[in-house]
Amino acid sequence: MNTIGHLINGEMVSGDPRQQDLVNPSTNEVTGKVSLAEKATVEEAIAAADAAYKNWRDTPPIKRARIMFRLKDLLEQNADKICELITREHGKVLNDAMGELQRGIENVEYACGVPELLKGEHSKNVGPAIDSWSEFQPLGVCAGITPFNFPAMVPLWMWPMAVACGNTFILKPSERDPSSALFIAELGLQAGLPAGVLNVVNGDKEAVDTLLSDKRIQAVSFVGSTPIAEYVYSTGTANGKRVQAFGGAKNHAIVMPDADLDNAVNALMGAAYGSCGERCMAISVAVAVGDATADALVEKLKARIVELKIGDGRDNNNDMGPVVTRAQLEKIEGYIARGIEEGAELAVDGRGLTVPGFENGNYLGASLFDNVREGMSIHTDEIFGPVLCVMRVDTMQEGMDIIDAHEYGNGTCIFTRDGEAARYFSDNIQVGMVGINVPLPVPVAYHSFGGWKRSLFGDLHAYGPDSVRFYSKRKTVTQRWPAGGVREGAQFNFPSNG
Amino acid sequence: MNTIGHLINGEMVSGDPRQQDLVNPSTNEVTGKVSLAEKATVEEAIAAADAAYKNWRDTPPIKRARIMFRLKDLLEQNADKICELITREHGKVLNDAMGELQRGIENVEYACGVPELLKGEHSKNVGPAIDSWSEFQPLGVCAGITPFNFPAMVPLWMWPMAVACGNTFILKPSERDPSSALFIAELGLQAGLPAGVLNVVNGDKEAVDTLLSDKRIQAVSFVGSTPIAEYVYSTGTANGKRVQAFGGAKNHAIVMPDADLDNAVNALMGAAYGSCGERCMAISVAVAVGDATADALVEKLKARIVELKIGDGRDNNNDMGPVVTRAQLEKIEGYIARGIEEGAELAVDGRGLTVPGFENGNYLGASLFDNVREGMSIHTDEIFGPVLCVMRVDTMQEGMDIIDAHEYGNGTCIFTRDGEAARYFSDNIQVGMVGINVPLPVPVAYHSFGGWKRSLFGDLHAYGPDSVRFYSKRKTVTQRWPAGGVREGAQFNFPSNG
Amino acid sequence: MNTIGHLINGEMVSGDPRQQDLVNPSTNEVTGKVSLAEKATVEEAIAAADAAYKNWRDTPPIKRARIMFRLKDLLEQNADKICELITREHGKVLNDAMGELQRGIENVEYACGVPELLKGEHSKNVGPAIDSWSEFQPLGVCAGITPFNFPAMVPLWMWPMAVACGNTFILKPSERDPSSALFIAELGLQAGLPAGVLNVVNGDKEAVDTLLSDKRIQAVSFVGSTPIAEYVYSTGTANGKRVQAFGGAKNHAIVMPDADLDNAVNALMGAAYGSCGERCMAISVAVAVGDATADALVEKLKARIVELKIGDGRDNNNDMGPVVTRAQLEKIEGYIARGIEEGAELAVDGRGLTVPGFENGNYLGASLFDNVREGMSIHTDEIFGPVLCVMRVDTMQEGMDIIDAHEYGNGTCIFTRDGEAARYFSDNIQVGMVGINVPLPVPVAYHSFGGWKRSLFGDLHAYGPDSVRFYSKRKTVTQRWPAGGVREGAQFNFPSNG
Amino acid sequence: MNTIGHLINGEMVSGDPRQQDLVNPSTNEVTGKVSLAEKATVEEAIAAADAAYKNWRDTPPIKRARIMFRLKDLLEQNADKICELITREHGKVLNDAMGELQRGIENVEYACGVPELLKGEHSKNVGPAIDSWSEFQPLGVCAGITPFNFPAMVPLWMWPMAVACGNTFILKPSERDPSSALFIAELGLQAGLPAGVLNVVNGDKEAVDTLLSDKRIQAVSFVGSTPIAEYVYSTGTANGKRVQAFGGAKNHAIVMPDADLDNAVNALMGAAYGSCGERCMAISVAVAVGDATADALVEKLKARIVELKIGDGRDNNNDMGPVVTRAQLEKIEGYIARGIEEGAELAVDGRGLTVPGFENGNYLGASLFDNVREGMSIHTDEIFGPVLCVMRVDTMQEGMDIIDAHEYGNGTCIFTRDGEAARYFSDNIQVGMVGINVPLPVPVAYHSFGGWKRSLFGDLHAYGPDSVRFYSKRKTVTQRWPAGGVREGAQFNFPSNG
């Protein structure tokens, strides 16, 4: 059975005493093992990254960018293989894996423009014959800690820009589905990254804590749940590092009476149930303004849920695959039970689904709750499963108040045709990413990703322009040259023989 | 005797049980008292700032900018009074206070451009008929905690840009010399800031801790010593706030064999002894490359030190005033004694100075150490006094290694005529602000201020472009409009009578 | 009787053989005379500007900006006087003059940020140890030629940014109402502009042609009618100058069936009749989609037109003053007559108005045409008078086709509540400045002003970011320093005594 | 024999009555023919570009960028073939052709970042609830007219960015060496450009004049000699087009007494003689400060010239190939003869060279003039051949005066180690592209290329950031939404049944 190790200093390394099974969520069969790095293994990676830094830092940005160009090509050429690895370990449908990978590739495309993005500001004559400019220099060794739900994309949010900016990098992907990230890192080396510039360590808390405490690590990017994000942020910053830690979400969509309802329902189906709702940008709450809107919305959703195809991720005819683990499946079912107890109306019950041929898989149908209210655990908590809650409000302001009162502030959207409603909503809502008739307002790669409130700890957002600022530090130079040098000297040397 | 209180919600407030004396460093006479805010007083200020936020946030940036224009005028009109307050409580010479104030005004000038600075990025067609843009929205209530050494300037680094970006603000100035900051804040209100938008609380650790823990505070800017900066940063971030905390410094100047030595000496005199060295950008170490350079440098410095005029800050003929407190005076003298013990050569001894008419003042002459070496406490520690250390090295690289090995990385400079030396130095040195023949490379107001290593905790620098990013949070909107609305509808409504 | 001369090299200069009367449009009384500069006079101004250039170019941008700060104060302090001058020579109501001046001041405010705006781009390591950066250097002597309709504002679009960027300037204001521009220029000198940096010459074609042909003039900004704009552009560019020439307009507003009609009517009243329609951004055509919309629109407009107060500009109770000249009055009346002949329906006839006490003034009431069609001269031509044309279309696309077929493409707007209609319109319409429920979409001072098609000759728009690029030229520096200099030299010099 | 036609609407088109021989400069053998487009042929291309515009304009920028990514790959894969075409028709050595191509590819790389580069500026609350933003929309059909000396690179300066910005394009390459540009255009289509988006017409003045006069062409980019550039600029702008026209050059290098002379000589050899000096950025004048500098410089140059290898471009051991035509060869020889007559000292005479096996080729050795003075035709004129002039001056200022007095202001450089000399030179010299110890200061692709004085007609430079502005027009939208829409309506509709 295959054991996944680490990529350190250009070599695949294995041999840690502890290992963990890799499991196919569609069958619960063990497909391999992953080494869990000990502290010493992580330190080996840090040492490699540290050693590679000096030369990499001095490599012109355009040369670093050209490796990103080659990486893009390699990712496209190897897309099928990457998606297969994703689906085997995560369970999502291949098409969905391809969508994830495409989003990841877009971050590589953006990193190809790093010579432009690293430009500093140059000021002539800040004083008489004094100039000043800023440079955005790399930080040194950076680390990324990424979640199971986008095993290929989230690592690509981080390390391509980090290394394009001149840093070296250590990635610790999720130990549940590390294979795609590891394979992509190998493509990075194949594209031309020198050994040590990009390293991958697999592991658990021991690896994370080593990254958070080692003095040579200058910056940490993290994506995961809010409690861990908070831990990573406070630990990392207390250890003098720059940290951005992205946490949980509970994303609401407001559906206005004037919305194009068919369009909204179509959008919500994908946003709520795509990838089994295991997305930090999934819409898990639809807030309908007015009972007429709510009634029509619920009817249309129910009709669409019936048509959903659920099954093994390798079959692109399916809309949803299994959830990631048996434990996660049980947790979701627990939330559904609790929702009923707390008084919400279960309009569609997705529990008890069996997929022929995959009877041991972690399968669960799409569920729909109506009449959900604040305070219910299905509203306060991030379920991370295919469960959509409908809330009913009388006014748009009431819906906005619900959103603003929630702990999380990652994404949100509104369905309306009305310019004023859209503008009022996007201006005032206390959420970092806002869609207007766009259900998953994940910013494109040339903008930046980040929630507000307890969805993000740190100042700077992920990828896009903010990531350039995150992965570089500002140096400001002020320069004046003394008079009386060779220019005037030359005048004195040759006074007579003009 | 006058008691300085707090400015809360547009009103001067006093009455806290605890107070502290205000002392003139030139005479050690008590000139007044300052109220030390209790927790409840600070919370009153926070409540005022919180209440003022909604309207202020919705005030168009150009209107906020116009208040900055008026503030600039008021600062210029009241410059003499402000400088008098600075000198009375801090001790620095009036001219020097005026220099400080001028630097502060430049930050107000920069904040006048906030409509330009707040521009977000707009992308047409991120997908078919889908647009996306970023907005930089204010954070809410922000706080600033500022040090004694630039009582007027450092507050002006912070709150003008913070409020120009749409935040409300609470300033806690140094309790040793709070009067100028308080007076300037009153000018802010006079310029048009609504009550509650800018508040000043005086106090000590109780006030600081309240600001660091209250959930309504979104961001904290701090300038002070490194241990406190670290405390502020780790406490504030653990409480979910955005924090930038600026700490100590030990700024080295490298003097190359080809330097214009008279120019360098002139520059070093001001950079080392100006404001008694109580500046985080003061040059406290001159690193001479080659003994010939060192010998000449020390000789010229000694000759210039003799000519320094030291006395009461109200007399602009003086070059240096007193140090800020008796305790600080004794601490500096202790360092001088320790330097001798540790084997450095005291080339000029500034101790034991008496200024006629100001015999009780905290006076100390300029001191110069030669042959200082790494490990001596006069090199490892920030003395914050008029003590310049000369170190001797054989090569420029050796000098750079000393700088890079130091805990701090605030500012540094090199004196040379050689383009290659300057470029190599500014590229490689691990320091955030670099001067080339500029001894105090404080970035101008339209660039940003920040050190590296343990001189700054946080990602974003003070004032300039970085401060706009610090005092705002990114919101990204993605927008698509549904088809079938009034545009197409209108076509269907009028089909025949074209 | 007072004769207006020129401001050359800091002195008021007069004495040209030719002069022209200045006439008050409200009474047709002669209020003074203006000198018309001969070629030699213009050349004197050019020589002054040329001589002043070298020092001004080397003045740090922040110092140039501070003069703009002072100018803003002086403009605000002298606002009443400036408006009085405008009204006396142009005729517009004082309130309207104040609005114009305020817009002009906003350009001065923007120029205060010139240190930020002039920042170039700095790239580290474009090759190994090679850096490159851009500088935006001034052009030299620039000229501005401005129209009668905004005698204070349009000059302030030009010269503040031009001089803030380090150029020197020659302004030739309209010879019909030159006094406010001349007075403002004097305030510029009072604010601190050195003699020769800003010069004003009054004159006619002789002055214009001198400016267009003299080799020392580097750039010309022009605002006026399209035929003259085209002449200025082709002549100036043929003479090797950088030119931006802003011409005429015919701005259409589309009124959709879902528009907030009261709001639209209110907006149209000001946009069509404010300043007698003598604005290049005036709305002169309202395109109603659907007859129901058109009928309601016309009814509401008629009701409002009745209430308009027309009279002397010094009375702020008036909504409209006189048109600028008797000739212009007759030209407008000619268009009204022609409109009737060509088949349009004159819903309100503003001709024949007499204002008691100002019987000789150039007065004309507001006129409204309904059923205007393409091809009529009231639609093809810019009337520059208080005449609003209503066109009726069945679909929004039909309205857009009318706009796109028109020679001009300055401004346009749409009234709707519908997000999709607004986005489709703003995306596709071939017009440079677009309003969505904003009738006069004049960009704010920190954006840029410019039409499309034959409304603008040149690449770069007026004021805002584009004006910085227009008034500066790019210089790109690439720098590498040779090895073997003092840095390495120093290592060789001291090999043994480390 | 092969006849090169045109690429119109995705098809290779031929059949014009007029044709011209293609000649190999190394042998003067005819290698093929090129069709010279008649007016009707050019109009066919314009019609194709016009028809393709609407869809291309609406294609999201990221999709246009992805075609650029593919184009980069195709250019790299076909590099050898492209270089072979260049060498066959132009004569330059293959290595040199590869350098040219690489520079061209870098422009494609930059165009890959167009989603970032097209971002407009978004301002929230320019007034209460009013937003404003800028969009950079494409122009429509653009044209490029390119010279013989960089047959692959200069077209790649133009059309990749033009089409990436959403324009369609017509390229008219030099009729002497059109094959590489035509082949590259085919690669563009292969990369995914829809038919009609990119068209190539071969031709002479008839084609040029058609492009300059046709109303459908919105913008023209030209590179060539100054007289033609001036004609193109004045004709194109008079026809209402946006034009940038790059002309001739006479680039001077100042050699200071402190220069690293071996480095300078090495740099000058390539800069003066590379590609036979047929580059607009070639250094054709070395200005030595001081006779000692001059003497040493001339000696070292002479020694190096002897070693130059001259021969067929297909042999990469050669340093120089033939000049482009027999006529050009004779013109250069004429200049050499005239230089002698006018009193310059011909230190090395390159005339009369015969290359064995290529006796009919246009071969000429490297020539070196000493003691050249202003006014000599070898100094006033752009020779465009392997002729380097040495001028002797006593001071740096004298050298700068010579440069500033020259008609052209394309590129220049200085050789020095001194920071002050370099800064003074780069600040004050009236030249658009400045090198400090960099002999050919061609800006990298992410900066922009442009000379000053009569080297460039137009405001905006080629490629880099300026090209984005050149190939797009600014549209500014101002938006306010009326109150009383669905948001408030919804509140009224459902008041009781909460």
Tell me: pLDDT of A495 over 80: no
Chain C residues with CB under 8 Å of A135 CB are 122, 124
Q: Can you read off the two tokens belonging to residue D212? A: 């300059």
* Length of chain A measured in residues: 498
> C104: which residues sit within 8 A by CB, 6+ positions away?
C75, C150, C152, C153, C155, C156, C157, C184
A354: exposed, middle or buried (Cβ count in 10 Å: 0-12, 13-18, 19+): exposed
d(CA D411, CA D439): 9
Report residue B222: phi and psi, to 5°: -135, 140
- A13 and A112 together in one domain: yes
CA distances from A141 to A163, A229, D259 (A): 9, 20, 39
A462 part of a folded domain: yes
The shortest C-alpha distance from D448 to chain B (Å) reads 22
Question: Measured between CB atoms, which of D60, D416, D417 is closest to B126?
Answer: D60
Checking DSSP bridges between strand D29-36 and strand B29-36, what pairing results, if any?
Answer: unpaired
pTM above 0.90, yes or no: yes
- C199 and C174 together in one domain: yes
A176 part of a folded domain: yes
- A472 and A414 together in one domain: no
Q: Can you read off the two tokens belonging to residue B215? A: 């959930």
The CATH number of the domain holding residue A104 is 3.40.605.10
Question: Measured between CB atoms, which of C123, C479, C485 is closest to D447?
Answer: C123
Contact (CB<8Å) C448/D134: yes
Mean pLDDT of A24-29: 97
- Degrees to nearest 5, angle at CA A308 with A307 and A312: 140
CA distances from C312 to C82, D150, D463 (A): 17, 66, 55
d(CA A364, CA A386): 8
Dmax (CA) for chain A in angstroms is 103
B121 part of a folded domain: yes
Beta bridge partners of D474: D136
Contact (CB<8Å) D122/B134: yes
Please identify, among B407, B436, B465, the residue that sits at the C-terminal boundary of a domain. Answer: B436
Q: Can you read off the two tokens belonging to residue A421? A: 């409603």
Q: Where are the alpha helices (DSSP H) in C214-325?
A: 226-238, 261-273, 291-306
* Residue C462 contacts residue C222 (beta carbons within 8 Å): no
D426 lies within 8 A of chain C by CB = yes
* Residue B312 contacts residue B361 (beta carbons within 8 Å): yes
- D327 and D209 together in one domain: no
The CATH number of the domain holding residue C430 is 3.40.309.10
The shortest C-alpha distance from A477 to chain C (Å) reads 12
- B328 and B351 together in one domain: yes
Q: Of C395, C437, C466, which to mutate for an interface test with B (greatest number of B Cβ within 10 Å)?
A: C395
Chain B residues with CB under 8 Å of A466 CB are 474
- D110 and D191 together in one domain: yes
* Residue A92 contacts residue A274 (beta carbons within 8 Å): no
Nearest to A144 by CA among A124, A120, A163: A163
- Amino acid at site B431: V
Chain B residues with CB under 8 Å of D435 CB are none
B472 part of a folded domain: yes
Contact (CB<8Å) A476/B240: no
Contact (CB<8Å) D443/C476: yes
Q: Hey, CA dihedral for C253, C255, C261, C263, is it positive or negative?
A: negative
pLDDT of B303-345, one tens digit each?
999 999 999 999 999 999 999 999 999 999 999 999 999 999 9
CA distances from C117 to A21, B132, C449 (A): 58, 25, 17
- C214 and C302 together in one domain: no
Q: Hey, CA dihedral for C111, C114, C116, C118, is it positive or negative?
A: positive
| Full residue range of the structural domain in which residue B313 is found | 251-436
C441 part of a folded domain: no
D450 part of a folded domain: no
d(CA A467, CA A448): 7
Task: Return the residue of C nearest to A121 by Cα.
Answer: C121
D307 part of a folded domain: yes
What single-letter DSSP state applies at residue D274?
Answer: G
- A106 and A28 together in one domain: yes
pLDDT at position A489 is: 72
* Residue A176 contacts residue A124 (beta carbons within 8 Å): no
- B208 and B189 together in one domain: yes
- B50 and B86 together in one domain: yes
d(CA A226, CA C493): 59
* Residue C110 contacts residue C445 (beta carbons within 8 Å): yes
Work out how many domains chain B is built from and give that number: 2
d(CA C70, CA B116): 20
* Residue B446 contacts residue B112 (beta carbons within 8 Å): no
Q: Can you read off the two tokens belonging to residue A450? A: 């980040």
Residues of D marked as catalytic: 280
Supply the angle between the helices B61-77 and B153-164 in degrees, to the nearest 10.
160
- C292 and C398 together in one domain: yes
Own/partner long-range contacts of B18-23 (Cβ < 8 Å, ≥24 apart): B20/B175, B20/B204, B22/B89, B22/B176, B22/B177, B22/B178, B22/B179, B23/B89, B23/B176, B23/B325
Tell me: pLDDT of A494 over 50: no
CA C332 to chain centre: 22
Q: Where are the alpha helices (DSSP H) in B287-435?
A: 291-306, 326-341, 377-380, 396-405, 419-428
pLDDT at position D297 is: 98
Chain B residues with CB under 8 Å of C131 CB are 423
Q: Of D62, D119, D475, which to mutate for an interface test with B (greatest number of B Cβ within 10 Å)?
A: D119
C237 part of a folded domain: yes
pLDDT of D109-148, one tens digit each?
999 999 999 999 999 999 999 999 999 999 999 999 999 9
Q: What is the mean pLDDT of each run of 10 residues along chain C (498 residues)?
A: 92 94 97 97 98 98 98 98 98 97 98 98 97 98 98 98 98 98 98 98 98 98 97 94 97 97 96 95 97 98 97 97 96 98 98 96 98 98 97 97 98 98 98 96 97 96 98 98 82 39
> D191: which residues sit within 8 A by CB, 6+ positions away?
D67, D68, D70, D71, D73, D74
Q: Of D220, D447, D471, which to mutate for an interface test with C (greatest number of C Cβ within 10 Å)?
A: D447
Q: What is the CA radius of gyration of chain C?
A: 25
- C85 and C204 together in one domain: yes
Q: How many CB atoms lie within 10 A of CB C303?
A: 10
Mean pLDDT of A356-360: 96
The C-alpha torsion from A489 through A490 and A494 to A498, rounded to 10°, is: -140
Q: What is the pLDDT along chain B (498 residues), one digit of tens a residue?
A: 689 999 999 999 998 999 999 999 999 999 999 999 999 999 999 999 999 999 999 999 999 999 999 999 999 999 999 999 999 999 999 999 999 999 999 999 999 999 999 999 999 999 999 999 999 999 999 999 999 999 999 999 999 999 999 999 999 999 999 999 999 999 999 999 999 999 999 999 999 999 999 999 999 999 999 999 999 999 999 999 999 999 999 999 999 999 999 999 999 999 999 999 999 999 999 999 999 999 999 999 999 999 999 999 999 999 999 999 999 999 999 999 999 999 999 999 999 999 999 999 999 999 999 999 999 999 999 999 999 999 999 999 999 999 999 999 999 999 999 999 999 999 999 999 999 999 999 999 999 999 999 999 999 999 999 999 999 999 999 999 998 888 887 444 433 433
Q: Tell me which residue has tokens 């003395």.
A: B383
pLDDT at position C497 is: 38
Contact (CB<8Å) B435/A478: yes
- Degrees to nearest 5, angle at CA C455 with C453 and C460: 85
Chain B residues with CB under 8 Å of C62 CB are 106, 109, 444, 446
